[in-house]
A and B are shown apart, each in its own frame.
Chain A
Amino acid sequence: MCLCLCCVVFIFLILIFYMKMMMGSSFPEEVLEHVFSFIERDRDRNAISTVCQSWYEIERWSRRRVFVGNCYAVSPVILIKRFPDVRCLELKGKPHFADFNLVPEGWGAYVDPWIEAASKAYPGLEEIRLKRMVISDDTLKLISKSFKNFKVLVLSSCEGFSTKGLAAIAADCRNLRELDLRESEVEDLNQSSGHWLSRFPDNYTSLVSLNIACLNSEVSFTALECLVGRCPNLRTLRLNRAVPFDRLAILLRRAPQLVELGTGEASDLRPDVFSPPDVFSNLLGAFSGCKELKSLSGFWDVAPGYLPVVYPICPRLTSLNLSYAATIQSSDLIKLASQCQNLQKLWVLDYIEDLGLEELAASCKDLRELRVFPSEPFGAEPNVLLTEQGLVSVSEGCPKLHSVLYFCRQMSNEALRTIARNRPNMTRFRLCIIEPRTPDYLTLEPLDVGFGAIVEHCKDLRRLSLSGLLTDRVFKYIGTYGKKLEMLSVAFAGDSDLGLHHVLSGCENLRKLEIRDCPFGDKALLANAAKLETMRSLWMSSCSVSFGACKLLGQKMPMLNVEVIDERGPPDSRPESCPVEKLYIYRTVSGPRFDMPGFVWTKDKDSALGLS
């Protein structure tokens, strides 16, 4: 009798458990798919995909947006097998130090195989975003022919193509909304069939964003004017140096709805000659008519006398990029910046000087991002009055400032400590003291303690670039306090392997580490080999890592590609203890790559070539 009761209770409990279990997985597939359609972040979609098998299947069939942070960490085959219906693809290629010409020409990051595969697998592809990749004209043509609903093409710091490829995009992408060539290198092929901009058909009206600021070539103004005039949804227009400033008024009157504008060149307008006077008033009128304008850039060779044409829109500006405005000096910069009370982002040359930054700190209380670039980075002596004081002022006056890139020639631990205490909300801090190994100019000591204060106080710091005289001590601070740090850039710093060891063993969230000209060798690297599988990539150039250690690392960690980049010839033609020129290590699920040039060696290369 008692046993029977126990059985009944037992069965009852199982039923309850079963019912509870069924609650979550009893959603019909289409309901789950609908729920997933509200989840866009990669991290969240990745979490969903590992919940259970049915969720994995539903998620992979419904993921429309894919981000690949390292094109060699995965392959087109794996991508397509996993996600059969992708609409938006984003790929990144070369490591960041490629921006400083540290990655030799021909290293890789070719997007052609990806687009080739996508052209067959993803006919519905709408958006392609590439960063630091090589793309050919043939591939651009393939894009224009393969994807009927193609809308967005963003090529950031890319190369390998010409205006011929752009012509194909213009001619055949009927639904194109966005063409953004930011900082790419584009070859100008003088086309007999006319300028590439005129290849946009007459009935094409869907352009929303056009960024051709990086183009060195001539632009057909007529074609541009027609294009701008017939696209009512155009909100972003970033022109290149070939578009004269005085003709800007024509474009602005055609597109007063613009939100973001990059001006062209103004060298025609001589600073001492204000006639014809209607040029000035024409521009002023045109700018005043742009009630939606929030972002301004360009200003190549603009005569300071013409700056007041933008004054009417300054109070509405949230973003201002004057990093190419080499003709605008301190007093004019101050006048301009002080009128932009709603400025959130400012990129400027060091002509702004400490005084200008002080004014900025007083006027622009909503500033969130500041980048100060050097006007004469290769000059031996300072040409402007820009010191650490400018940055200190801004850190004091702008409570929302969280992202900084600052080039200067002197720094002190005291200033860094002050900045750290002022701005514990800092998330990105990149300091570039122009001369390597520059000490604290007040005490002549290393800047360890200053940077230590930054990592200690700025608990949400995600990105950090170091410069100046630094010992292993700074790395100890970084390893201890930099718990949220994701990206670290180091140059001419440290004394020994201990420095590298502190970082690799301490920074739990480190994803990208790039190092140049530091005395880091084999020990720290081999001791922290496992760490490398938790990071996207590690770059080391002009350090002390031997070829032998690279071979060992490659053997020990089969899931890593350990690339030795050495233009002196095959690494095994030198002793194993010889340090390699450059080293690029990254985790990958697609194994070795087979498009390596002669100066790149990995452990698999010999076997790939059939050598012993």
Chain B
Amino acid sequence: MALELKSSDNKIFEVEELVAVQSETIKSLVEDGCADNVIPLPNVDSKTLELVLDWCKNHVDMKLDEEKLKEYEDKFIEVDQAVLYDLLLAANYLNIKDLLNRACQKVADMLKGKTPEQIRETLNIVNDFSPEEEEEIRKENLWAFEE
């Protein structure tokens, strides 16, 4: 049983149902009987969708081989930052638990050991605290809540 998925940039992907329903989002659509036509995924571009479907396919194929699967997952998640974020958002949108966990873990590992300024730089986040606010939080963190 094959499903058709359409990425945000209008590329069609033909996928086995068994593979596609690793996404809880798609699974719900199938169960509700809404998957007869092409399923539009406006939040996922073709590049990311291809990767996601590769993950799903391999999780079906290697289901019984824990070691092989782990090797695959470790290699899969070694992507550059921009791709990682796209995967993270796609996994969230498509509700693929294990991919979401893996991607979140990877991003978390990127943040560990960094100062706030380094984190802001890594993720291009603007500091919207006033210097006084930031100092107050920093003081409370350091004086009250740190080893």
Contacts and interface: CB of A to CB of B under 8 A. Distances in A.
A, B: real partners: yes
A56 B127 CA distance: 11
Nearest to A50: B116
A55 B129 CA distance: 11
Given A43-B146, A47-B116, A38 B104 contact: yes
Nearest to A22: B124
A79 B92 CA distance: 32
Contact of A66 (B85, B119, B145): B145
Interface residues on chain A, size class: 35 or more
Interface string B39-77: 000000000000000000000000000000000000000
Interface stretch (B1-9, B28-36, B134-142): B134-142
B100 A34 contact: yes
Contacts of B134: 50
A1 interface: no
Given A46-B141, A51-B119, A67 B111 contact: no
Contacts of B89: 27-28, 31
Contacts of B88: 27, 31
A44 B138 CA distance: 12
A476 to B, nearest CB: 28
B115 to A, nearest CB: 6
Contacts, number: 115
Interface in A1-38: 20-21, 23-25, 27-28, 30-31, 34-38
B108 A38 contact: yes
A79 B128 CA distance: 23
Residue among A38, A68, A587 with max Cβ neighbours from chain B (10 Å): A38
A538 to B, nearest CB: 14
B146 A24 contact: no
Contacts of A31: 88-89, 92, 104
B80 interface: no
B143 A41 contact: no
A73 B88 CA distance: 39
B129 A52 contact: yes
Interface centre among B88, B101, B125 (most CB of A within 10 A): B125
B124 A21 contact: yes
Interface in A379-429: none
B135 to A, nearest CB: 10
A49 interface: yes
Contacts of A52: 120, 125-129
B144 A74 contact: yes
Interface in B81-112: 82, 85, 88-89, 92, 100-101, 104-105, 107-109, 111-112
Contacts of A34: 92, 100-101, 104
Interface string A104-120: 00000000000000000
A49 B125 CA distance: 13
A50 B129 contact: yes
B147 interface: yes
B141 A35 contact: no
B131 to A, nearest CB: 12
B85 A35 contact: no
B104 A35 contact: yes
Given A27-B88, A50-B129, A52-B127, A43 B147 contact: yes
A89 B15 CA distance: 48
* Of B109, B111, B119, B143, most A-chain CB atoms within 10 Å: B143
A82 B137 CA distance: 10
Interface string A40-73: 0111101111111101100000000011110001
A444 interface: no
A260 to B, nearest CB: 25
Contacts of A73: 143-144
B11 interface: no
B105 A42 contact: no
B124 A24 contact: yes
A69 B143 CA distance: 9
B147 A69 contact: yes
B140 A78 contact: yes
Given A21-B124, A51-B127, A52-B126, A42 B145 contact: yes
Contact of B146 (A25, A42, A55, A79): A42
A544 to B, nearest CB: 28
Contacts of A28: 89, 92
A31 B115 CA distance: 21
A48 B145 contact: no
Given A46-B146, A74-B143, A23 B108 contact: no
Given A39-B108, A48-B116, A51-B119, 13 more contacts: A23-B124, A24-B122, A25-B123, A35-B107, A38-B104, A38-B109, A44-B111, A46-B142, A52-B125, A53-B129, A66-B145, A78-B140, A590-B144
20 contacts: A21-B124, A23-B124, A24-B125, A27-B89, A34-B104, A37-B104, A37-B108, A39-B108, A42-B146, A43-B147, A49-B141, A50-B129, A51-B120, A51-B125, A52-B125, A68-B144, A68-B145, A74-B140, A74-B143, A589-B140
Interface of A: 20-21, 23-25, 27-28, 30-31, 34-39, 41-44, 46-53, 55-56, 66-69, 73-74, 78-79, 82, 587-590
Per CB-CB distance, the 5 closest pairs between chain A and chain B, nearest first, are A24-B123, A38-B108, A74-B144, A46-B141, A24-B125
